[in-house]
Structure 1
Amino acid sequence: MATRITITDSGQTQTLNGPLAPDTPDDSLQRISEVYFAKKTTTDNGTRVSFTKIDSAHAQQDHQNQNQNLPYDSILGKTVYLIIETSNMQTLSIDAVIRPSANTLTDNTETLQLMRFLSPDRYEAQRLFTVQVGNFDALNNNAGSHTHYTNLSDHINKAIIKLQLRPDGRAIFDEWSGRLGENTVNLEVAVERTDNSPCAYKDGQEEVNGAGIFLNDDTGRFRVVNKNIYTIHHGSNAYNTLTETNTGERRRIQKVLNTHSTEVIYFYYDQNDNEHRICSRTKETVTRKRRVNTIPPVAQRGELTQTISFTANRAAGENIDATQLLVYTNGTLGDGATDKWYANQPGTVELVDMDILANAGVGPQIFEAFNYNRDGVIIRYGFQHTRRRSIQPDLFSGFLGALAQFRQEGHSHYIVSQGFSYSDASCYPSAEHVNGEAGDLNLLTTQEDGVNTILTAANFDYDNAVILRNILFNFGFILGRSENFTNTSNASTADNVNTRLPHTTHTATPRHNNHLHIHGFAQISDIYA
C-alpha cells in the first residue's frame, strides 16, 4: 500500500495508506498537476496577467550583482501568490496548507498560520486555505475588481491564493525569525479537494483519496530567508492596500522589520503592480549625532579612532567643505573653514550606503551611484562634490520610489545629489543633514544631464522641478528648503513672477539657490504597527 496524506478540518495533515497508482495516463482525470509560489506579471499596459514561478528551479536573479542567481526564493513577511494548476476541476474547491520541511522556523513541521489576502484591502490569518478553481478574487485591486484583465480565460483552471509569508503577530514573527537566523527554510504545500473526493496529482495515473504534496523534492523547492523588506508603490498602483492618510490617499511604502538580519531589500511595484527587486543594502548602526556650538577640548573628545582626509578630493576639484573628519569616541570634528563639532547623542541610528556602484576616483565630475533599468522602470542617480552618501533606510525607500515614478511619468532627468550624511552620521558643515535625515539635490536643467544650475539661470527647468518636488513630497519628504526667486530667462512662464519650489521654506542663509534641500521625512510604518 502507498503512503498518502489527508488534510483535516483544522488544517493539519494525517498520514494514511492508499492504493498504488497504475501506469496508464488518463487526460480525463480530475487532476492537480502543479502547485507553486509565484509573482504576478502584467503586460499590455496592465490588461494581461500571468504568473512567474519562484522556486529553486526558477531562481530569481540579483541584477545588482551581475545577474547572479539568488540563493533563496522569498523572504519572511513578503507577499506572494500560491498557484494551483488543475484540469477538469473548474469551480471545484481545494484545500491547501503550507508547512516547513524542517523545524528551523517554528520548532516543528506543523502547518503554518499565514496572512491571506481578502478582497478588497485586508489580510486575515488562516491555517487552512480553501479556494475555488477559476475564482479570481485574489487578483482584485483595492476597489474589489479584476475585470480590467482581458485574459482571465487563460487561468480558468487555476486556483489562486494571495498571501503574506508571516504570522499575524509581531511576537510570533520574531520567534520565527529568531529560530531561522541566517539559515534557509523550505516550505512545502499539501493540497486536497475540499469535498475529500479523489483526484490525480502531478502526473499520477489514477484519482486517489488524500492530499498531494508539492515543493518537497529537488525538482523545485521554495526557500525562505530573513531580510528586511520595503514595499514601495507607484502613486497610481490600484493594488496598493496600505492604510489611507488623512488626505484620503494611501500610504505608498511599508516595511517588514526583521531584527535578525541587517540586509534590506527594496521592492518597487509599478503602476500596473509589476514587482521590481530594485536593490539590497546592508544596514549599519551608528551613534546618533547633533551639531553643537561648543567644540570640546581635545581631552574631552575621547579617543581618536579615525581620520578621513579629503585633501586629494579638494585638490582634484571636488567642492567638499571639509578638509578632514576627525572621528572620536565622543563625536566627530569637521575640520574646514570653520570647525564644527558633531556630538554623540543617546541612541543609535541605522544608515545605508546610497553609493551602490561605488565608482572610484576623485574630481568635480558626477559619480554615478546607481542605474536600475529593467522592464520599464529606471532609477538613476549620482553624486557630485560630496562624500556624504549615507541615508536612513526609510528615506532611501522614499527616494527610490520618487525617482522611479518621476521617470515612469516620462521625465528623463539625471538626478544628482550634493549629499546626505557621512557614514558616521555627521554632516559637515550642515546641522540638518545629521543622521541621514536630509539631502541636497542639484536643480534640474533643460539639458537633463544632472549638471547643476541656479534658480535664475536660463537652463533651469522649473516646470519639471515642481513635478519632482511634488513626487518627493508624496513619497514622504514633507519639508524642504529653497529660495524665493524670479526667472524670466528660462522656458517656463510659471516662474516669471516671484515664486518658490513647492513644499519648501525660503532659506537664503546659507544660500539655497543652487540645490533643493529635502528633509522632514514621514517615517514608514512597520507591517505590524
Structure 2
Amino acid sequence: MATRITITDSGQTQVLNGPLAPDTPDNSLQRITDVYFAKKVVTDDGTRVSFTKIDSAHVQQDQQNQAIPYDSILGKTVYLVIETSNMTDLSIDAVIRPSANTLTNNTDTLQLMRFVSPDRYEAQRLFTVKVGNFDALKNNQGSHTHYGNLQSDHINKAIIKLQLRPDGRAIFDEWTERLAEGVINLEVAVERTDNNPCAYKDGQEEINGAGIFLNDDTGRFRVVNKNIYTIHHGSNTYNTLTVVNPDPERRRRIQKVVNNHSTDIIYFYYDQNDNEHRICSRPKVSVTRKRRVNAVPPLAQRGDLSQTIDFTANRAAGEQIDAHQLLVYTNGTLGDGATDKWYANQPGNVDLVDMDILANDGVGPQIFEAFNYNQNGVIIRYGFQHTRRRSIQPDSFAGFLGSLAQFRQEGHTHYIVSQGFSYSDASCYPSAEHVNGEAGDLNLLTTQENGVNTILSAANFDYENQVILRNILYDFGFESGRSENFSNTSNASTDDDITTRLPHTTHTATPRHNNHLHVHGFTPISDIYA
C-alpha cells in the first residue's frame, strides 16, 4: 500500500494508507501534477510571465556561472506553484514543513508570511489557493492585467507568493541559530480544500488525502542561512516598500533581511519588469569604528602594532595614493603620509564588505576592474583608480549596485570608476568623512564613457549624464554629496554654461572637489522586521 497524508484544519498532517498508482496517467482525472518553488520570469517588455523551478534538480548559478549548492534563503520571497489538470476554479490547501528537526526542533508545518495584498503579508500555516486565481501576481497598484498570457498559460496553476520566514524576529532568530551553517529541505503537502479525491503526479486513481512533493531525490528544496538585500529598479511596480514622496511617487528601493547567524550577504536586484537577478555574494567583516582626530597620540598610547600596510610599490608605479603606509594599532590606525593622521577607535563595530570582487593583481595608475556583472539585460560594471580604499558598508553597497544597474538599464554605457571609499580597517587617510565605509568618490563622467577622469570645466565632461547618475544615486539612498560651483562653456552641454552645481551636493572647494563626485549620508536600510 502507498503512504498518503492528509491535511487537517490546523495545518498539520495525518498519515493514511492508499492504493498504489498505476504506471500510465489518466488524463481525464482531476489531478495535481506538480508542486514546486519558483522564481518569476517576465519577458516581452513586461507582458508575459512564466516560472522557473528552483530546486536541487534545477541548480542555479552565481554571477561567475558556478553552481549554487542551495535553492533559497530563509527570509527570501519565492513563489509556490501548484500545477493541475481538470481542476480550474477548485481550491487547494497546501502546507510547508521541514524534512528534519534542525530548523524548528520538529517537523511540524511552518507558519510563513504570505502575500495577501499589495502592501501586506500575513502569517499563515495553511495556505488555501484557488486554481486559476492570479492575486499572487498583483503589483503595488493591485493589478496583474499587464500580463497577457495568464489565461492561456497559467489557468491550470494555483500560485502562492510567500516569504520564507515567520512573522516575528525572535522566532526567526531561533530558526537561524538552529540551522547555523546547515541546509534544511522543505517539503510541501497539498490536497483539495473540499476533501474530495484527486490524483497526484502520474497516479491513475483519484484518492482522498494529501500528496507530498519535494520529498525525494528527484527534486529537493534546499534552504540556508544568509543575509539578503533586495534592490528594486525605480520603475519596478512590484516594489511595495514605503512611499517617501507621493507626487511623483518615490519609494524606498531596498530592503534587507538581517541574519544574525551568518556573515554572508547575497544581493538581489529586481529590474523594471521584476525579474530577479542574483548579483553577488559578499562576506561581511565586523571592525572597530574609527574617527579621525586632530592629535596623533604618542607611541606609548597607541597600543600594540598589529599590521603595517605599505603603499611604496603602488606609489612608485604611479598610483596617486596619499598614504605612504597604514600602521594599525590596538587603539587606532596611523595614516603615514605628507601629514600624519590618527584614526582613533570608537565605541562599537561597523560591518564592511570588500567591493573589489574580481581582486585583480598589479599596481599602477590604470583602472582596476572590480566587478562586471552582465546577465539577462542587467549590467553592473565598475572599477577603482588611484586608491586601495575599497571597503564599504553593506547598506551603501546595495545602493551603489542598484544605482549602477538602473543607470545602465536606462541606456547609459559609462564605465563607473571610484577613487575610493574606506580601507578595510575603517580608516580612510587622509579624509575624515570616508571613515567606516560611509562615503565614496567617483570619477566624473566623460563623453568618451571609458571611466578616465576629468574635471568639471573640461570639454569632455558629460554634464547631462552626470546629473542623471547623481539623481539615481540619490534615489537609492546617497542623500548627500560634495562637488563645486562651476560653469563650463567648452563641453557639449548648454545647461552648465552658467554657474551651477551637481544636484544633491554641497559646494566644497577645500579640499578640491572639481575632479570627482563625493557621495555620503546614505539612508540606513530597514530590516524586514523593523
Normalising by the residue count of structure 2, what TM-score does the alignment of the two structures yield?
A: 0.99
The residue that corresponds to 2:480 in the other structure is: 479
1:85 corresponding residue in structure 2: 83
Q: How does 1:109-508 map to 2 (within 5 A)?
A: 109-152=107-150, 153-247=152-246, 248-508=249-509
How far apart, CA to CA, are the structure 2 residues paired with 1:284 and 1:4? 48
Partner of 1:39: 39
Q: Give the aligned residue type for 2:51.
A: F
Query: How far does residue 24 in structure 1 lie from its aligned partner after superposition?
Result: 4.8
Q: Is the contact between residue 245 and residue 251 of structure 2 (CA under 8 Å) also seen in structure 1? A: no
Match in the other structure for 1:10: 10
- Cα deviation code 1:317-349 (max 9, x no counterpart): 000000000000000000000000000000000
Find the residue that maps to 1:68 and give its secondary structure. Answer: coil
Partner AA of 1:148 in structure 2: H
1: CA distance between counterparts of 2:76 and 2:122?
15
Structure 2 counterpart of 1:478, which letter?
A: E
State the secondary structure of the residue aligned to 1:397. Answer: helix
Query: How far did 1:63 drift?
Result: 2.0
Once the two structures are superposed, residues 24-60 of structure 1 have per-residue CA deviations (whole angstroms, 9 ceiling, x without a partner) of 5311010001000000001011110000000000000
Once residues 290 and 315 of structure 1 are traced to their aligned partners in structure 2, the CA distance between those partners, rounded to angstroms, is 29
- Rounded to whole Å, the distance in 1 between the matches of 2:301 and 2:22 is 83
Counterpart amino acid of 1:207? Answer: E
Q: Alpha-carbon deviation of 1:126?
A: 0.3
Distance 2:516 2:23 in 1: 73
d(CA) in 2 for partners of 1:57, 1:289: 47
Once the 2 structures are TM-superposed, how far is the Cα of residue 160 of structure 1 from its aligned partner?
0.3
**Aligned to 2:300, what secondary structure does the other structure show?**
helix
By how many angstroms is 1:244 displaced? 1.6
Counterparts of 1:97-116 in structure 2, within 5 Å, are: 97-116=95-114
Give the letter for the 1:154 counterpart.
D
- Counterpart AA for 2:393: Q
Return the TM-score normalized by structure 1: 0.99
- Percent of aligned positions that are identical: 86
Q: 1:215, CA displacement in angstroms?
A: 0.1
Larger deviation: 454-463 or 114-123?
Answer: 114-123
Tell me, what secondary structure is at the counterpart of 2:177? Answer: helix
AA aligned to 2:87 is: M
Moved more, 144-153 or 269-278: 144-153
Gaps of 5+ in 1: none
Residues in 2 aligned to 1:129 and 1:76: alpha-carbon distance in whole angstroms: 18
Q: Distance in 1 between matches of 2:25 and 2:225?
A: 42
Task: Return the offset for 1:118.
Answer: 1.0
Q: Deviations over 1:96-152 (max 9, x none)?
A: 000000001000000000000012221000000000000011011010110111111
Greater displacement, 295-304 / 13-22 = 13-22
1:386 maps to a residue whose letter is T
Secondary structure in structure 2 of the residue aligned to 1:6: strand
Report the Cα offset of residue 17 of structure 1: 2.1
Please report how far the alpha carbon of residue 2 of structure 1 lies from its aligned counterpart in structure 2 after TM superposition. Answer: 3.1
- Cα distance in 2 between the residues matched to 1:332 and 1:268: 36
Determine the structure 2 residue equivalent to 1:56: 56
Question: 8 Å contact 2:21–2:202 — kept in the other structure?
Answer: no
Aligned mates of 1:184, 1:2 — CA distance in 2? 28
> C-alpha distance in 2, partners of 1:302/1:134?
68
Q: CA deviation at 1:21?
A: 3.1
Unaligned runs of 5+ in 2: none
Q: Distance in 2 between matches of 1:21 and 1:87?
A: 17
**How far apart, CA to CA, are the structure 2 residues paired with 1:305 and 1:21?**
68
| Distance in 1 of aligned mates of 2:167 and 2:34 | 28
* 1:23 Cα deviation after fit: 4.6
Opposite residue 394 of structure 2, the aligned amino acid is P
8 Å contact from structure 2 (residues 403, 473) kept in 1: yes
Q: Deviations over 1:438-459 (max 9, x none)?
A: 0000000000000000000000
Letter in 1 for 2:269: Y
How far apart in 2 are the matches of 1:120 and 1:252?
Answer: 16
Deviations 1:289-339 (A, max 9, x none): 000000000000000000000000000000000000000000000000000
In the TM superposition, residue 19 of structure 1 has moved relative to its aligned partner by 3.0
CA contact (8 A) 2:441 2:518 kept: yes
Structure 1 Cα separation of the partners of residues 19 and 404 of structure 2: 59
Secondary structure class of the residue paired with 2:244: coil
Mapped to 2, the partners of 1:116 and 1:131 lie a distance apart of: 11
| Contact 2:24–2:202 (CA under 8 A) maintained in structure 1 | no
Shift of 1:245: 1.7
Structure 1 CA distance for aligned equivalents of residues 63 and 350 of structure 2: 28
Which residue type is aligned with residue 48 of structure 2? R
Structure 1: 4+ residue segments shifted above 4 A: none
CA distance in 1, matches of 2:287, 2:502: 33
What amino acid does structure 1 have at the position aligned with 2:243? E
| SS of equivalent residue, structure 1 residue 370 | strand
Matched residue type, 2:128 = T
Give CA deviations for 1:197-235 in whole Å, capped at 9, x if unaligned. Answer: 000001111100000000000000000000000000000
CA distance in 1, matches of 2:266, 2:463: 34
In structure 2, what is the Cα distance between the partners aligned to 1:126 and 1:242?
Answer: 21
**CA distance, structure 2, for counterparts of residue 245 and residue 447 of structure 1:** 35
Amino acid at match of 1:334: G
Q: Distance in 2 between matches of 1:163 and 1:109?
A: 19
Residue 518 of structure 1 aligns to a residue in which SS?
strand
Distance 1:387 1:59 in 2: 36
CA distance in 1, matches of 2:305, 2:327: 7
Q: Give the RMSD, CA atoms, in angstroms.
A: 0.8
Q: What is the rounded CA distance, in whole Å, between the counterparts of 1:165 and 1:31 in structure 2?
A: 27
- Report the 3-state secondary structure (helix = DSSP H, G, I; strand = E; otherwise coil) of the residue aligned with 1:440: strand
> For the Cα contact (< 8 Å) 2:287–2:425, is it kept in 1?
yes
Secondary structure at the aligned position of 1:352 is classed as strand
TM-superposed CA distance for 1:4, in Å, is 1.2
8 Å contact from structure 2 (residues 230, 269) kept in 1? yes
